[in-house]
Structure formats: C-alpha cells, structure tokens
Chain A
C-alpha cells in the first residue's frame, strides 16, 4: 500500500498544527462556534446529539495492521472502547473530547493517518472497491488513481468551500463494487477499443431526498487528462451550484437544471482551455505511486488445496463461512476474506478496541499485514492463503468475528439513526438488530441468498436505503416513529433506485413485512435467481399485494 514520504508527512504535520491552533482559539473564545463550525467540519469533527464525533479518513479503505492497532488504541484511550466503520470506508469515534482531538490527530499522523476533509463542503475521502487489486474482473487496479486523487484533492485551494460536500468513488472492476453511480462523480476504469485504459466519468448520482442514478458525462477520458477534466467539472459546479438551499446544492441538482447536455457543454468549454495542461499529474508521479501497489511476492500455490476441501467437509459452519465470506483471488491459492461486523443482534459496523487489535494480529499472521474497510461496513483481509483459511476462521470464531453472512440478509447497512443523530425521525440500529435476530438462522440466510438490506433514519439516506434490494426509511408520522419499505434498489452497475412498497409500518410491522417479501421471493424464484433478479422479473405488484394482505 501507499507509504508517506517526507512531503506527505510534512503536510499532515502542518495540518495537525493548524487544527490544534483552531481548537485552542475555539476553547479560548477567539473563534465563535459559528466560525469554528466550518473549520472543524473540514477536519471531520461533528457535533452529534450527545457529543462531538470524530471521523477519521481511511483513504480508499486501505489499512495496515499498524494503523488498525492505532485505531484500537484511540478507541481505548480517548473513546469508550469502540469505533464505527462507515459506508464511506472511514472510521468514526463517537465520544472524543474536543480538547483531546489535537492529541488524537498527532497519534494518527504518526501512522500516516488524518481526518482531513472527512466532512465539510469539500472533496471528501475518495472511496474505491474493497477488493481492488484482488478481484479477477478488474481492468486495472484503481488504488494508484485513488491516491493520485487523494493528493490532488487535499487542500485544493479552489474547491474547499463548494456548495455542498463532494464525493468521488473510483472502481476498476467489471462489477461495480464502489457504487460509482451514486456519487457526485463516479469514475470507472474502462478499456477503449484501441486497448487503451482510461476513465468513464459518471456525474450527479446521489441519495438524500432527491435520489439520482449518476449519468455518463464522458465515456472515455485519457489518464493524462483526468485532473483537468475533474477540475473543469468542479469549477462549473463551484460557480453555478445552488447555495441558497442546502437540499438543492448537490451537483445532481445542477445537472438536472442544466440537463446533462447543457452541463457537459459547460464542462467541455472549460476543459478545452485547460486539458492536458500543467494541472495534470506527471506520468512519473503516477508510476511512483503505482509502485507502492505492486504485487507482493506471491507463492506458487494451487486453488482448492486438500486441507481446505477436508476442512469444508468436516465442518458445516466453516463451509458456510467459506461460501459466504471468502472471495476468489485473481492469484491461485489465495483468497480475500470478509470479516463481518454484523453479528446477530449487533450494531452494524461497530468494532471494539480488542477486536481491532485482534484483526491487526490476524492481518499480520494471515494477510501480509493488509486490511480494507468495505462500504458494507465490514473488514476485508485481502491476501489470505487458502490453506490457512481454516486456521483464520478458528481464530475469528474465538473473537466473535466469524459471522457467515456477507452479502446475506443480516449483512445490514444502517445509519446511526435516532440513537446518535439529531436529524433522525426513527431509530435505525435497534431495527437492524431486530431484523438480524429474526433472520438469525444462518442456514435460512444461506437459503435466501444474496440480498442487500439498508436502513436510514431519515431521508438524508446515510444508510443508502434507496439502493438496498430491500430498503427501510424512517419517517415521522405525527411525532411517532414510522417506517417505509422500499424494494428493488441496486448500488451496482445495474443501478436502480428502489420503489416504495408500503408506508406506515411500526418496527415490528416492517420486520413482518420483510418476512412476507422474502416469502414471495422464495415462492417465485427460479433456480439460482437472486432476489434482485426475481424482483426485476415479477415487479413490485406481487410483493405489494402480499404485504397488504398480511397487514
């Protein structure tokens, strides 16, 4: 993975000094809360219902064992012994004291981490596929470009006070595992007919109260012209994006207003002037960064070693875990393991300090010291030898980290909801817990198969309910918590926004309705057909009818 050189260290050190000074000025009263707000928001410090929250960047989700140990240490010393991994591959600490934050940032800087641009109306931490460099369907590894974008966007002088936050995701897979159609800018590595690899640029995707599937702004941008293209988009947005209403300030609204063609004309006019100019990243810098992502020294191994097959037939629990949580690696004999942070009845995405330390140890022992945070709020160990999967699984079992539910109905994405968030209409976490308990039978989950379930406590959609195959939205019904059920969303390259299947459920009611939905699916599915495909084939009506009949 990327390592800081002296320059990167210097930038982060100077940022720690600046933010420490801003905190001191706030504590002394030199800065009002109103003036401090945008400054702290530039550094991931939010004010939640009960306390400040600190969001720490995990650039494109990559961690080392050393970084994970430091996160565990921070959770233990400055927080209440746990952290929360987010859908944007970051980690949040819910209970730090403002006066401790400078010390936390110093500790992070020592391990090449920071909280820069994890909030605020700036270019946020760039996200990517948690299986980057691992997946067999990849055109090219997106991580070097994610690092190029990290550096380019860090303290970009022109784009630090945009109309609204700005999120970029980049993906290299034929399968889109980074939700590029639901970001302000989505970037997909594509191969042109000429054989050249470049970028498809998708713009204006998003969730919130105006969900939008992103639209293709440019089918192929050359690598040597990518930064000028992004600058042209950002400049048009910065000048013309709405600033009078924060709910209409995202780039998706500007693209709607100008139409895709109109927006493209503006971008192209600016791009023509600056394309391929000094703003581009030099080729040797791309090469320098790329070298950090070179393959480790793989051993010559075969797929499906006898140890693995034997252990799978010996232990049904292990076998179930392998089929759900272990992904084939492009290198024979290796695998990428998803460690689920969704135990039955747990809080999705939470990990204790002890679990983080254990994960760091497992990464050292089994995964060349490497870990990833996935947008599904799980941890990925990307480089595990197949003949060591059983040993790893046993170690995970001992830590309560071997839940075999990756991609299954209890692998729930949920926002913090009413337990933490001032904007919430309803609780998300207790509902996620209820659903995972209702479907706790792992054999049944495996039978139901692949399905995504997302919960948001309000229309801001932090839990991505619009793109869950099954989505749940908390609404306020005359002061009562109430839930709406949405079906058919899809965050991948077959992107879709879900359809409303029914309003006005109580928490128990919505869990029953999910039961009904799953019942319809099981009755209607064809062999090997996952939930989303059945839904697309038969449509919303049979589900809606069954839900209404069961009410």
Chain B
C-alpha cells in the first residue's frame, strides 16, 4: 500500500510510516500519526507538542468547515474514502483548497484505487495512499504514473492547473500550439 506524494519533481514515495488512529486508540509515544477529527478537537495542544508529525483525518461525512479554523496549524489533512464509490471527499477537497485556502498536504486514504487517482489529483489531493488491487498485483510509482497519465485532456476547470480543452482550442485558433 504505497503512500506517494506528488511534487513538482514528480511522484515520490513517502518513507515516513504513518499510523492511522481510530477514536479509541492510544497515541503512540513516537512516530507520525493521523488522528480522527474528534481526537484532534479534544487533544490539539498535546498532539502538537509531540516531536513527530501529526495529521488529521476526516471521515466522509465530516465537513471542511469542521477543520477550517485549524488549517494554518496543520501540515497534513487526510480525507477518507470508506468505499471508492463514496465521492464526498472530492467535494471536501475542493472546499478545503478553494474556499478555505488550505496549502498543506491533502492526502487520500481508504479505498483509494488506481482508477480514481486522476479525479483525486484534479480536486486538490497531493498525496495518495494507494491500495493494492484484489489480485495482489503490486502498485508502484510506475503504475501510479501510468494511471495519472491516462488522460491527456480535460474538459473542465477544477483545482489543478490543467487548462481545459476550451483553452487549448482558443490557443489553436489564435495560431498557437495547443
């Protein structure tokens, strides 16, 4: 289950081991942790006082508003896909990025399959915790790269900087290169 980060340089595997905590789990003494929203709200200060990295994960029904006041203190926000057919996190990502201006890492966790990575990147995720297919076939930087380059064109403006087809047409009509 590789965690990768998308940077200007490309796709980079993340070496840090992150532990995702549930509501009841004890916070380990060391190591990077992702804590659920309620834990974050109750234990912010002690969590931030730890030496190792802390991120918050939101369940699919939890809103961007619920964390908007803390975004400047957070370097990692993770949004959970409880099933890959549950698309709420795409809109939550748009709101975190576009309405609340969050600039830190936005990580997709849960049922994150190769077939949805493009949508995730387009709605503002820049870290992907990609799940292996049922066959057990390996997910590698190469397979992630292939999944992300599947479509060379997009029709609509989203969070990512890709110009929509209409802009390419305009350039072409103006005598430029698409």
Residues of A within 8 A of B (CB): 5, 7-8, 10-11, 14, 17-18, 22, 25, 28-32, 35, 38-39, 121, 151-152, 154-162, 227, 235, 238-239, 243, 273-274, 278-279, 281-282, 284-285, 288
- Whole-angstrom distance between the Cβ of B169 and the nearest chain A Cβ: 7
Main secondary structure of the interface of A (DSSP, over half): helix
Question: From residue 146 to 173 of chain B, which have CB atoms closer than 8 A to chain A?
Answer: 150-158, 165-170, 173
Contact among A10, A22, A25, A227 with B152 in the assembled complex (CB-CB below 8 Å): A10
Contact among B60, B84, B153 with A11 in the assembled complex (CB-CB below 8 Å): B153
User: Which residues of the partner chain A approach B157 to less than 8 Å between Cβ atoms?
Assistant: 278-279
- Whole-angstrom distance between the Cβ of B106 and the nearest chain A Cβ: 14
User: Which residues of the partner chain B approach A243 to less than 8 Å between Cβ atoms?
Assistant: 60, 86, 88
Known contacts being A157-B122, A282-B170, is A239 close to B155, with CB within 8 Å? no
- Whole-angstrom distance between the Cβ of B62 and the nearest chain A Cβ: 10
For the complex, what is the distance from the CA of A35 to the CA of B173, rounded to whole Å? Answer: 42
How many chain B residues sit at the interface, stated as a range, is 35 or more
The answer to whether B90 touches A238 (Cβ under 8 A) is yes
Closest chain A residue to B178 by CB distance?
A7
The answer to whether B94 touches A235 (Cβ under 8 A) is yes
Summed over the interface, the residue pairs from A and B with CB atoms below 8 Å come to a total of 117
Contact among B133, B151, B178 with A155 in the assembled complex (CB-CB below 8 Å): B151
Closest chain B residue to A28 by CB distance?
B135
Known contacts being A30-B133, A31-B133, A154-B155, is A285 close to B169, with CB within 8 Å? yes
Known contacts being A161-B85, A282-B170, is A156 close to B156, with CB within 8 Å? yes
Encode B73-114 as 1/0 by CB contact (under 8 A) with A. Answer: 000000000001111101110110011000000000000010
The answer to whether A161 touches B90 (Cβ under 8 A) is yes
User: Which residues of the partner chain A approach B122 to less than 8 Å between Cβ atoms?
Assistant: 157-158
For the complex, what is the distance from the CA of A162 to the CA of B98, rounded to whole Å? Answer: 20
User: Which residues of the partner chain B approach A7 to less than 8 Å between Cβ atoms?
Assistant: 153, 165, 168-169, 178
For the complex, what is the distance from the CA of A28 to the CA of B60, rounded to whole Å? Answer: 32
- Whole-angstrom distance between the Cβ of A254 and the nearest chain B Cβ: 13
B70 part of interface (Cβ distance < 8 Å): no
User: Which residues of the partner chain A approach B133 to less than 8 Å between Cβ atoms?
Assistant: 25, 30-31, 35
- Whole-angstrom distance between the Cβ of B16 and the nearest chain A Cβ: 27
For the complex, what is the distance from the CA of A17 to the CA of B155, rounded to whole Å? Answer: 18
- Whole-angstrom distance between the Cβ of A239 and the nearest chain B Cβ: 5
